[in-house]
Structure 1
Amino acid sequence: MTDTTPAPETETGLKDTFVSGYLLYLLAAASEAASAQFHARVREEGLRVPEWRVLACLHDRDGAMVTRLAQFALIEQSRLTKIIAQMEDRGLVTRRGDPEDRRRTRVYLSPEGRALAEALVIEARRHEADLLNILAGSDGARIKQALRALIDRLAPAETLDA
């Protein structure tokens, strides 16, 4: 016999169902909700979210190879190549051959791209601090540690040697 008792609602208004408790849904929904405000700020600067990811990655590691940028920016490499070309046309990045292997291309921030990346990274850090303040006690640090552990266990080895 099937239970027809309505499932109780959670604080977000979702019924207590498979989806509302499913880890992958929770990760994606939390990311979407947490990113929404900051991504609006990114768009105010005339950037698309993938472009912001490229700037943030280059802020950490200027001169990254396209393959490495694709891994950290979470963008498929052929799509990233087009995005980089558009960013180069707008004066945010430059592409140069790798001095050790001319077959490889490295991407660098232009002075304009560096200034924009630095300003947005400062804002991103503030936004992250605001998000962590929502969480009680050391929950934020524990969540970050748990997510890193999950990534370490699930990500291919070549993406971990950043």
Structure 2
Amino acid sequence: MEVTQCINFLLTRAQHSVLSYFRSRLDEYDVTPVQYGILSCLWCKDGQTATEIAQRICLDGSTITGILDRMENKGLLERQSDPNDRRAIRVVLSDKGRQLEKPLGEVVKASNQRVLDIFTKEEQELFVESLKRVADNISKW
């Protein structure tokens, strides 16, 4: 099989293009796409553990620790001891992190739409559903 026809190659190439586009759009806010994912988790439910966030956005524990360190250094969040369980550390948004919800939400919404604009409305729905099906079912094999 020609490598350019391989599903893995095509998905990787598409993911690289989309990631580069999102990176360029988020640069203005000094936030990476994965940092946006973490912020988004915290906007939905502040005070989660690093493990909860990692599971939600499909990261391993060692990866998220470094990302959280960088985000804390940028003043986007902080880690706090859980008052109900001294062993647990909760990740909470800073004021700066909270203030980014609206502008970053608008950037990501516009970026998603820009990526999907090459498709008709029906194709957009099918494309998104197809990606979800691939992501949800490959791990079952």
Which one of 130, 134, 141 corresponds to residue 150 of structure 1? Answer: 134
SS of residue in 2 equivalent to 1:131: helix
Which one of 34, 38, 45 corresponds to residue 54 of structure 1? Answer: 38
Q: Which residue of 1 aligns with 2:111?
A: 127
Q: Which has the higher contact order (CA 8 A, sep 6+)?
A: 2
Larger Rg: 1
Q: 1:138 to 1:96 in 2, by over 3 A?
A: same
Higher helix share: 2
Q: 1:88 to 1:142 in 2, by over 3 A?
A: same
Deviation at 1:99, TM superposition (A): 4.2
Instruction: Give a deviation string over 1:85-141, Cα, whole Å, max 9, x none.
Output: 232232210212334433222212111111123311211011111222211341111
Q: Percent identity?
A: 29
Which one of 86, 92, 97 corresponds to residue 76 of structure 2? Answer: 92
Deviation at 1:155, TM superposition (A): 4.2
Q: 1:88 to 1:25 in 2, by over 3 A?
A: same
CA contact (8 A) 2:54 2:64 kept: yes
Aligned residues: 140
Which one of 1, 7, 13 corresponds to residue 29 of structure 1? Answer: 13
Partner Cα separation in structure 1 for residue 97 and residue 71 of structure 2 = 9
Instruction: Give a deviation string over 1:11-50, Cα, whole Å, max 9, x none.
Output: xxxxxx6221111221121121123222112222223343
Q: Which residue of 2 aligns with 1:118?
A: 102
Q: CA RMSD in A?
A: 2.2
CA contact (8 A) 1:59 1:118 kept: no
TM-score, length basis structure 1: 0.73
Which one of 43, 46, 49 corresponds to residue 27 of structure 2? Answer: 43
Q: Which residue of 1 aligns with 2:64?
A: 80
SS of residue in 1 equivalent to 2:87: coil
Which one of 132, 138, 141 corresponds to residue 122 of structure 2? Answer: 138
Partner Cα separation in structure 2 for residue 20 and residue 128 of structure 1 = 25
CA contact (8 A) 2:42 2:92 kept: yes
Q: Which moved more, 1:71-80 or 1:117-126?
A: 71-80
Q: Which residue of 2 aligns with 1:160?
A: none
Partner Cα separation in structure 2 for residue 145 and residue 91 of structure 1 = 36
